[in-house]
Structures are given as structure tokens and as C-alpha cells.
Amino acid sequence: MKSAAAQAPKEHPFVGLTLTIASYAVPLALLAFLFFGAGLNFGFLNDSTNWDIISPPISFSPQDPYWRAFLVGFVNTIVAGATAMVFAVLLGFSLALLRMSGLPAIEGGVRLYSDVIRNVPVILQAMFWYAILLNLPSAREALSAGGAFISNRGIYLPWPVTPLAAGLIGLGLVMILVAVGRLRSAREKADPGRRRLSAIVLAILGAAAMAWGMARLEPAISWPVPQGRGIRDGLRIPVEFLALVLALILYRAAYIAEIFRAGFRAVSHGQIEAARSLGLSGWDTLFRIRLPQALVTILPPLTSECVLMVKITSIGILVGFPDLYSISVNASTMANRSMEALLLLVVGYLVINLCIVAVMNLLNRRISRRGRR
């Protein structure tokens, strides 16, 4: 930017200022027109919807207002996107390792998988998995394994009666473990005092979380029970969610594997040889030498993958999953407010994507700083 300004012919500073203002004013004017000129009215958000949403993570009934329906869709999109992303990264990482295993047969198998999966539209894949899942046995003849049931309505898992309390205890445990780890390694660091202090604070917070969880925990697990034509209790993961998430995982993992592979390739071979000559095992070389260095290359494209993943969840409507897009379409036809529904949809995706980019940039900065040290 600076060099361009230096090269540009001298013009009155006022002209430059005007142009800068104009460059912001045009999109702003467009937005203002959309808001005021198109007669937007968000009043419908307080009306009750009169339609139902199947099995949302937060409760919903036909009497609930539209804003709650949008909230359900928003949460559903985040849950589906996050679940798919976590498993796609795990699968992609494993595929990348298999692809670099040096065993031609396995490498060929992985390549075949990725060639097939990458060239078929993900919509078709989701529809295929949905059809498969719908053709599973009905609840009455549900397959069962270890207390869990699988039927054409979904997977039923044993689940703590008070999941929030159980989660708090788990979180507290993790925090205390991390604190202990930091305390033990503090001696080797440059600022042991500060590290010890932060570790102690973390441990106290963890203990508090555990105590809070314990106080509210009912030490019972809700087991799914077949009853009549259905299955009650337990945690039900609906087939719609399963079909969507399964398709997204299998589809994007093929791309994420390529990202990991490129990242591993960017680590110089000397690093691996050095690790080996130090006597590190293959596993240690992978997780302590190659992966940390590869992450610098991997994180930026992985950020775009996260954003992309959230965007693709919007195909959920075709398998009946009530995500943000599906709710917006419903709301726009039922309340006859399409412009407002679209704006909420766009804002919802923008919020999610901006959060992803912010978090990943934070991670990225930490990692590249570590690399420079």
C-alpha cells in the first residue's frame, strides 16, 4: 500500500480522502437501502411458529417464537459443523499417514478412496447415507451393542442423567492434569514463577469446577430402553444428523488428508534424520518433530476447511436436518418474510466464520511464534 502511494502521481490530499470515503460509502449505502428501503420488519420473530422441529439439542415446541427456531438452527449448524470437523481432521490425519506409509498397496487404496469420494457431490453422498440409515431395522428390532441401540430412527447411547455436571467434572479433571504438567515443566522455563502461579490458579479453577460438578451430579446413567414401538431414555442421535455428519466427514477428510500431506512434506528431511540419529522412535518423531513443524503449514488451509465445513452443513435440508439454512427457508415461507430470514441466515454464518477465523488466527500466531524461538 505504502509503495503504491509513493509511486502514484501527486494529487490533492482531499481527492484521496474523498475516494477513500466513497469506497466505504458504496457498500454502506447498499446496506442502508436494504435495511430501510426494503421495509424490513423483524417483528415476526416474536410470533409463535406453529411448526415443530425434530429432536433439537435445545427444546422446541410449536408455541415457541421464531427467534427460538433460528437459535435452534444456529446451534444445530455449529454442532454438526464442529462434530464433522473434529472427526474429519482425525480421519484426514490417519489417511495422510497411510498415504505416506511407504506401502504401495495401502497408498493405492487411500488414493482410490480419495479419488472416488472427491468426485461425487457431497449432496449425493449425504442422500445415500440417509437412505442407508433409513433402511436399518426399526426400533422394535433395533441392533444393540453394549447398551447402545441402532435403529432407523438413530443411535441411542447410554448418557449421564446430568450431562452438565459430568462435563464439569471432566473439565475440572483435565484442568488439574494440565496444571500438574505445567507445574512440573516450570523449572525448565525462563519464567518459572509466573508459570507456577498460572498453574496453581488453573488447578484451583479445576478443583472448583469438579466440586461444582460433584454437588450437582446424580451418579446415574440413563440407559436406552426399548419400549413398545420406540426406544426411550438415553441420548438419541437422530439419523438426519448422522447422515449429514457422516457424509461431511468422509468427504472433507479426503481433502484434509492432502493438507496434512503437504504440511508433512514441507518439513525438511534433515529433521527426520536428526530425530532418528538421536534415537527417537517413529512415533516420537511423528508427534514431537514432524507434526509440530508441519502445523505451521497446515493451520492456514485448515482454517479455510473449518469455514468450508460450516458452510457445507447447509445441505442438511436435503436429509431433513434442521440447520440454520433449513430453519430460514421454513421461516421465510411460513412467515412470508424472506429478506429478513436471509439476513439472519447470512449474519449467522458470518458470526460463526468470523469466530473460527479469530480462534484459528490466535492458534496460528502462537504456533508460528513457537517456530521462531
Residue 247 CB, nearest approach to another protein (Å): 12
3-state secondary structure 15-45: HHHHHHHHHHHHHHHHHHHHHHHCCCCHHHH
3-class state of residue 228 by DSSP: coil
Regarding 70 and contact with another protein (CB under 8 A), the answer is no
Q: Which is nearer to another protein, 121 or 371 (CB)?
A: 121
Q: Which residues contact 143 (CB under 8 A, 6 or more apart)?
A: 136, 137, 149, 150, 151
Regarding 361 and contact with another protein (CB under 8 A), the answer is no
Rounded to whole angstroms, how far apart are CA atoms 23 and 30? 12
In terms of residues, how long is the chain? 373
Q: From residue 4 to residue 23, what is the string marking binding to another protein with x (rule CB under 8 A)?
A: ---------------xx-xx
Out of 286, 339, 363, 367, the only residue in the binding site for another protein (CB under 8 A) is 339
Q: From residue 309 to residue 328, what is the string marking binding to another protein with x (rule CB under 8 A)?
A: --xx-xx-xx------x--x
Rounded to whole angstroms, how far apart are CA atoms 294 and 302? 12
Regarding 161 and contact with another protein (CB under 8 A), the answer is no
Residue 108 CB, nearest approach to another protein (Å): 8
In the β-sheet with 143-145, what is the strand arrangement from edge to edge? 143-145, 148-151, 154-157, 235-238
Cα-trace Rg, the chain: 26
Facing residues of 148 across strands? 145
Residue 30 CB, nearest approach to another protein (Å): 8
Residue 190 CB, nearest approach to another protein (Å): 40
Q: From residue 24 to residue 63, what is the string marking binding to another protein with x (rule CB under 8 A)?
A: x-xx----------x-------------------------
Residue 130 CB, nearest approach to another protein (Å): 9
Residue 229 CB, nearest approach to another protein (Å): 21
Residue 345 CB, nearest approach to another protein (Å): 5
In order of 150, 167, 168, 212, the CA distances from 201 in angstroms are: 44, 20, 17, 16
Torsion of CA 175, 180, 182, 187, to 10 degrees: 160
Q: For another protein, which stretch binds (CB under 8 A), given 57-65, 211-219, 220-228, 308-316?
A: 308-316
Residues 179-218 that bind another protein (CB under 8 A): none
Residue 11 CB, nearest approach to another protein (Å): 12
Q: Are 309 and 352 in contact (CB under 8 A)?
A: no
Q: From residue 288 to residue 307, what is the string marking binding to another protein with x (rule CB under 8 A)?
A: -------------------x
Q: For another protein, which stretch binds (CB under 8 A), given 229-237, 240-248, 275-283, 346-354?
A: 346-354
298, exposed or middle or buried, with CB in 10 Å at 0-12, 13-18, 19+?
A: buried
Q: Quick one: which H or E segment has residue 151?
A: strand 148-151
Binding site for another protein (CB under 8 A): 19-20, 22-24, 26-27, 38, 101-106, 108-109, 115-116, 118-124, 127-128, 131-132, 135, 307, 311-312, 314-315, 317-318, 325, 328-329, 332-333, 338-339, 342, 345-346, 349-350, 353
